[in-house]
Amino acid sequence: MELDWLGDFLALAAQRNFSRAADSRNVTQPAFSRRIRALEDWIGTPLFRRGAQGAELTEAGAHLRPLAEDLLARLHRARQDTRALGERGTATLAIAATHALSFTFFPGWIRRQARLEALGTVNLVSDSLEACEALMLGGEAHFLLCHHHPDAPNPLDPARFPSRAVGTDTLVAACAPAAGGGPAWRLDDAAAPRLAYSPASGLGRILAACRGDARRGGTAPRLTSHLAAALLTLAREGHGIAWLPLTVAGEDLASGRLVRAGPPGSDLAVGIRLFRAPGPQGRAAEALWESLGDAADG
Helix (H, G, I), strand (E, B) or coil at 196: strand
pLDDT beyond 70 at 86: no
Domain 90-165+272-296 has CATH 3.90.1150.10: no
Q: Specify the pLDDT at position 287.
A: 83
What CATH number matches the domain at 168-270, 3.40.640.10, 3.40.50.12780, 3.40.190.10, 3.30.530.20? 3.40.190.10
pLDDT tens digits for 169-201? 999 999 999 998 899 999 988 889 999 998 889
**CA distances to 131, 276, 292 from 297, in Å:** 25, 12, 9
Q: Where do you find CATH 3.40.190.10 in the chain?
A: 90-165+272-296, 168-270
By DSSP bridging, strand 241-245 and strand 163-175 are: antiparallel
Instruction: Round the average pLDDT of the chain to a whole number and report it.
Output: 87
Nearest one of 25, 30, 27 to 12, comparing CA atoms: 25
- Provide the CATH number for the domain formed by 3-87 in this structure: 1.10.10.10
pLDDT tens digits for 205-253? 999 998 764 444 346 677 888 899 999 999 999 999 999 999 999 999 9
Helix (H, G, I), strand (E, B) or coil at 49: strand
CA distance 136 to 273: 14
pLDDT tens digits for 107-117? 999 888 766 55
Split at pLDDT 50, 70, 90, the class of 298 is very low
∠ Cα 15 20 25 (to 5°): 95
